[in-house]
Structure 1
């Protein structure tokens, strides 16, 4: 079977909850990143890189690595995949984690509890104790989307007293909110140096 070529997200509707994690640390001008798609109900991996205003959907299984540039910073992105069989190995990539980016479907009220459980479990990991949290409240272009405030409360974000976090309104299909979120993340990471 021939592998499908990458396509832009505008040709693809994101119907399921996406959870992305970034393992980042600054070394001079290089930001090293590990990207993990947590759930295996979606057979594709989403890359939030390149111009950031676009998403590439890749039919990739397993582990992938690529280097991209954002705002003159180079990111080495390790995409670890979300298959259940791969998940036990994710902990190998938590060390030195500076940031977690969590992408949540704002329209999926039925799964917000699962999203909260997964987030809480990840943030309880000792190696993620100091990680900055960025939440992408995705699908904000949809009428039925929860507000970022609703999502923050549903995810329990206000209870995170010892963690720097921010939630951003985003739309994968329109590319909105991504630049603001990435700007905040980059500036926050730089200020910790």
Structure 2
């Protein structure tokens, strides 16, 4: 067998091995995240859109639901808790095992509902099982005329003094701009990865 034929055979074998014997891609890291917010804040619609599900017949979540939301470098197992008054008081029963928190608020809601959301967020930020976790706070319904800006929400919710020293992100959101929502969740994943690395260094 000539050297040229041998070279071609080896080249063909290497190409075949690269194409066919690559093996499965490495598994994506999974994180367990709890998603809370009042009824009507838009939690279910945002999560359904992230999962490419239909949003035509969205109804308020009763109890809780779990969705595996895929991203390029991670999968978020999101436990969404219903926001009705009858369910809200039991939220803390579902916090155990969470590695991150998504809090969704309706930035176009009434002053009364916004005050309730503020109280619930303050409670979550200080809860023993959540206070050390990364938070993604979404000021949702930014597409509505009555929506308050992210800066207004930040000031009204007193996030700077209350959440100082914690890992948190506040972003505007709406189902009409899912690219921005995905970017916000990517920022949360980055915080989760940082927390993992810190834990590994201890």
Specify if TM > 0.5.
yes
Q: Look up the match of 1:185.
A: 188
Question: CA offsets, 1:138-158, max 9 Å, x none?
Answer: 222334322211110101111
Shift of 1:125: 1.1
Cα separation, partners in 2 of 1:39 and 1:115, compared to 1, 3 Å: closer
Per-residue CA shift, 1:152-174, capped at 9, x if unaligned?
01011111212122211211244
Paired residue for 1:97? Answer: 98
Q: Structure 2: which 5+ residue stretches go unaligned?
A: 1-26, 197-202
State the Cα RMSD in Å. 3.0
Q: Deviations over 1:41-83 (max 9, x none)?
A: x5x9615336628674643533333433222422333333234
Is 1:32 aligned to residue 35 of structure 2? Answer: no
Contact conserved, 1:101 with 1:134, CA < 8 A, in 2? yes
Of 153-162 and 44-53, the range deviating more from structure 2: 44-53
- In structure 2, the partner of 1:86 is 87
Q: Which has the higher strand share?
A: 1
1:98 and 1:130 in contact (8 A); partners too: no
**TM-aligned CA distance change 1:186 to 1:88, over 3 Å:** same
**Aligned-partner SS, 2:166:** coil
Residue among 103, 124, 127 paired with 2:126: 124
**Alignment check: 8 A CA contact 1:33 1:78 kept:** yes
- The residue that corresponds to 2:19 in the other structure is none
**TM-score, normalization: structure 2?**
0.67
Aligned length: 165
| TM-score normalised by the chain length of structure 1 | 0.69
Counterpart mapping for 1:16-165 below 5 A: 29-36=29-36, 38-40=37-39, 42=40, 46-49=44-47, 52=50, 56=55, 58-59=58-59, 60-108=61-109, 110=111, 111-159=113-161, 160-165=163-168
The structure that has the greater radius of gyration is 2
